[in-house]
Amino acid sequence: MVACAAFVGCNDDFPGKPNPADRPLPQNEITDFATLFAQNCTGCHGADGELGPAPPLNDPLFLALIPDETLHAVIRDGRPGTPMPAFAAERGGTLSTEQVKIIAAGLKSHWPADKTEEVSDAAIVADAPPYLSSATILQLTPGATDQASTLFERACAECHSPNGAGGETGYASGGAINDRAFLALISDQALRRIIITGRHDLGMPNYAAPDGRPEDFKPLTSAEIDELVALLASWRRGDAAAGDAGK
């Protein structure tokens, strides 16, 4: 009798007893970074934030350089004209203001720090050019074009061939970056970011790595990166002079 009463009274701990923690949350109430990241970012940036078609987010150099507000703004507003969409509901996306904040904040703390040593050491982070360019307008004067082409030859041509038409080795063999469709779909800022951080997941060296570059290669400075971006931008516009760059 007593056992029965006890049974009725409290003990309903069977495997089928639902756990409040497993309750399905409405999409707009999800606040867990990992879930939000998996649902919204992995499609392009890869399952673990790398090895996706879009630049890796699981990149200590990138995460160290990008200012918090910029990261937040890019997630909120997207990069118009490129495949980075706006995620904030008020910009036509699906995430609440809160959720955008959670993703932006979570990115910086999500991947454990020991990966930093693996991929790039602290000095590289410390010496890196700023994420945002200080130059307001990137314009190449005719003289500067030659200078930029020389720079391109030293820093990029080993893999992408002197005129950017693609080479045989390294990240994306035949990796043409003078393709106007490609350039049309990537912003100047994204170009700058990739030149600085490289793509460690696909073997592209960062701004300082010596891989495949001349013996006397020195880490690229912010101004040099501006020049390279300006050169690429001129290819995007299809400037006659730039089209023959390096030929």
Partner 1 sequence: MYQLLRKLAHWIDARAGVSATLWPMMRHPVPRSIDGPMGWWYVFGSASMTFLLIQILTGIGLSMVYVPAADQAYESLLYLDYQQPWGWFLRSLHYYAGSGMVVMLLVHMTQVFLQGSYKYPRELTWVVGVLLLACTMGMFFTGQILRWDTDAYWGLAVGASMAGRVPVLGPEIVHTLLGGDIIGASSLSRFFALHVFIIPGALLTFLGIHLWLVLRCGISAPPKPGEIVDPKTYDATYHEELKRGVPFFGDALLKDIFFSALAVTIVVVIAAVVGPKGPTEPPDPTLAGANPRPEWPFLWLFGLLSLSPPAIETFIMLVFPVLVLGALFFVPFVSNRGERAPSRRPAAVLLVIVIYTTLGVLTYEGVQAPWSPVMDAWSGDPVPVNLVEGRTPLELQGAAVFQFKNCRNCHALEGIGGRRGPDLTTIGASLTRDQLITQISNGTPGGGNMPAYGKQMSPAEMEATVAFLISLRPDGQLPAGAVEDAPVEGTTPQPVELTE
Partner 2 sequence: MNAPLPSSGKQLCPGGKPPRRAFFRLLTGALGAAATGLLTLPMLGYFFGRRHRPAMWVPMGDLSDFPLNETRTINFDNPLRQPWDGMTSMTGVHVRYQGKNDAGDEQFLVLAANCAHLGCPVSWFPQSGLFMCPCHGGVYYENGERASGPPPRGLFHCVWRVKEGKLEIEAPHYPTLHDTLTESLES
Does position 85 bind partner 2 by CB under 8 A?
yes
Residue numbers at the binding site for partner 1 (CB under 8 A): 8-10, 12, 14-18, 20, 23-28, 38-44, 46-47, 51-54, 83-85, 94, 166, 169-177, 179-182, 184-186, 202-203, 205, 211-212
Spatial contact of 164 and 245, defined as CB atoms under 8 Å apart = yes
User: Quick one: which of 55, 56, 60, 93 contacts partner 2 (CB under 8 A)?
Assistant: 93
C-beta closer to partner 1: residue 135 or 243: 243
Q: Least distance (Å) from partner 1 to the CB of residue 116? A: 16
Residue 112 interacting partner from partner 2, partner 1, none (CB closer than 5 to 8 Å by kind): none
C-beta closer to partner 1: residue 84 or 208: 84
Residue 92 interacting partner from partner 2, partner 1, none (CB closer than 5 to 8 Å by kind): partner 2
CA 126 – CA 61 distance, rounded (Å):
9
Tokens in use for 26?
């409405």
Burial-class residue 7 by CB neighbours within 10 Å (0-12, 13-18, 19+). Answer: exposed
CA 92 – CA 22 distance, rounded (Å):
29
Torsion of CA 116, 119, 123, 129, to 10 degrees: -100
Torsion of CA 191, 195, 198, 199, to 10 degrees: 20
Residue 95: beta bridge partners?
88
User: Quick one: which of 53, 67, 92, 238 contacts partner 2 (CB under 8 A)?
Assistant: 92
List interacting residues with partner 2 (CB under 8 A). Answer: 83, 85-86, 89, 92-93
